[in-house]
Amino acid sequence: MHLEADAFVKTQQPSDESRVVAHLQRLGKLTSPDLARARRLAEDAGDFLLPMLVRLGLVSERDMAVGMSEVLGLPLVNAAAFPEEPIREDLFTLRFLKDARVLPVAEDDSRLQVAFANPVDDFVVTAVGMAADKPVTAAIALPTEIETAIERLYEKVEEPPEEAEADFGDFDEEDIEHLKDLASEAPVIRMVNLLIQRAVESRASDIHIEPFADNLTVRYRVDGILKEVDAPPVRSTAAVISRVKIMAKLNIAERRLPQDGRIPIRIQGKELDLRVSTVPTMFGESVVMRLLDKESVRFDLDALGFDGGPRKRLHSILEQPYGILLVTGPTGSGKSTTLYTALSRLNTQERKIITVEDPVEYQLPGINQIQVKSSIGMTFAGALRAIVRQDPDIIMVGEMRDLETARIAVQSALTGHVVLSTLHTNDAASGVTRLLDMGVEDYLLTSTINGILAQRLVRRLCPACCEPYRAVPEQAERFAHLRGLDDSVDLHRAVGCEACNATGYRGRLVIAEVLVMSEAIRKAILSHATATEIRRIAVEQGMETLYQDGLRKALDGRTTIEEVLRVAEAD
């Protein structure tokens, strides 16, 4: 048997394991309590410690692979280096490849290169060396990438007959039991867990699982942009979706109606809350999971990107003893996070705060949060009517969806409460006209609204790889309104590196405009002025528009001019 690797000498398995574990601990990737728990479970199951750490979500697949590569001196290969066609099908059975998680990745006249998911498994290493008819060069690859490649290269898939069209509406009891069995099998459980784990590693906010006629598509939304990733094989569609529904405690027999649920889960030592939504489509159910990482969210205006004029105006509104603050913007523009941040700022022992939300996204200590349940009559309006009798100082309404909710919120503000809520409008001035269109009386609006904040999220430049450049004259003209600039303007562009997954961006920040209610704006509302006219008055009184705030942040090197133009119209 010949098993080789550059700068790699096989030592006793426990020594390899302990060296890798010590390396992970030195890097802060593994805590002592997590190690003790994994060691106990591995001993009970008769399994190896390193795969158990990954399986429990205590160490990510990539961190483990990188750690083993650095400690054992083995090269780390990725899916891009895998072959297009199977190599040496005669050497290993499909079952051995899948159970051992090994993959032949390259061959020449003198040697065979094999990728191992767990190179400390002495039995597997020895078996590969004995089966090969030439020296073997060992490498390391991620287990999921090995599994996907084995399915692609070695598994023979039988095509279903054309006449057997799926009926996504009706199930008999046998079908349901079969789905449950499929969804409870280890490969499917591992597949779904790894989809979630990879999303966490990618800093994704949402996972989209979408079935089509010939394939299953999985996409992650990272920093607001959807990106397609490797998906499970199409034949596993029903099992994967059923597994997600079982985890979310949804009815797997119901595939004709939308369903919503949640999955509390621990991945890589983080407590996550996944909000699950399913809707029926032509080829099955489309599933979206929103990842809420309670530990990483910082309810801090600076961290969100509020500064300068918008921050000062927002502070002045939050200091008012009563009245309404509205936060506007499209879905996914960070409105809820801004409201939570405002509540955190207002949350003191002397104030009672009650919220009505659908859903309650983050639990805030010291704040009474109510979950809307329309199915039992607990609507926004119904909950609002009840909580005004609870003697609150501050009320947060997740969204003003109808006239009844808006009117109760206005009445609450008139009776001395601070009310925070959201609206779906494009800019701050349109928030006024939207409420007027809903039927709220103009004189009530002018008496209760303190301010309207409109916001968008732009991607933040990766500090590790962004590079400066001199703006061309056409770009420089956009910054003419900003004071203290000569004809030259220095901006930054996205490049891409390992830290940002080659996107050039890492994280997002807010660009905002804050309309503060003034006498001139009150008069304009009472005369039923258009949103354009209200906006003009606000700008004359010092309001920075979304576009202007974005340009300022592009000039500071925090984002790019392209990102600003993607989400905000030029003034």
Buried b (16+ CB within 10 A) or exposed e, 489-527: bebbebeeeeebbebbbbbbbbbbbbbbbeeebbebbee
For residue 455, what pLDDT is reported? 95
CB 186: neighbour CB atoms within 10 A? Answer: 7
For residue 296, what pLDDT is reported? 63
Q: Is the pLDDT of residue 316 over 90?
A: yes
Sign of CA pseudo-dihedral 389, 394, 398, 401: positive
Question: Looking up tokens 């590569």, which residue turns up?
Answer: 69
198 versus 45: the higher-pLDDT residue is 198
Strands (E), 179-269: 204-211, 216-222, 225-229, 259-267
Give the mean pLDDT of 154-171. Answer: 46
pLDDT band at 191 (very low <50, low <70, confident <90, very high): confident
Q: Is the pLDDT of residue 379 over 90?
A: no
Alpha-carbon distance 317 to 293, whole Å? Answer: 29
Give the mean pLDDT of 395-419. Answer: 91
Beta-bridge partner residues of 225: 222
3-state SS, one letter per residue, for 401-460: CCHHHHHHHHHHHHCCCEEEEEECCCCHHHHHHHHHHHCCCHHHHHHHEEEEEEEEEEEE
305 versus 373: the higher-pLDDT residue is 305
pLDDT in tens, 203-223: 899 999 999 988 899 999 999
What's the one-letter identity of residue 403?
Answer: L
Q: Is the pLDDT of residue 183 over 90?
A: no
For residue 395, what pLDDT is reported? 94
Beta-bridge partner residues of 289: 207, 276
Q: Which of 81-85, 296-300, 566-570 has the lowest mean pLDDT?
A: 296-300
Average pLDDT of the chain to the nearest whole number:
85
Alpha-carbon distance 559 to 544, whole Å? Answer: 17
pLDDT in tens, 501-524: 888 999 999 999 999 999 999 999
For residue 3, what pLDDT is reported? 52
Give the mean pLDDT of 355-379. Answer: 84
For residue 8, what pLDDT is reported? 43
pLDDT in tens, 447-468: 999 999 999 999 999 999 999 9
DSSP 390: G
pLDDT band at 1 (very low <50, low <70, confident <90, very high): very low
For residue 447, what pLDDT is reported? 93
What's the one-letter identity of residue 545?
Answer: T
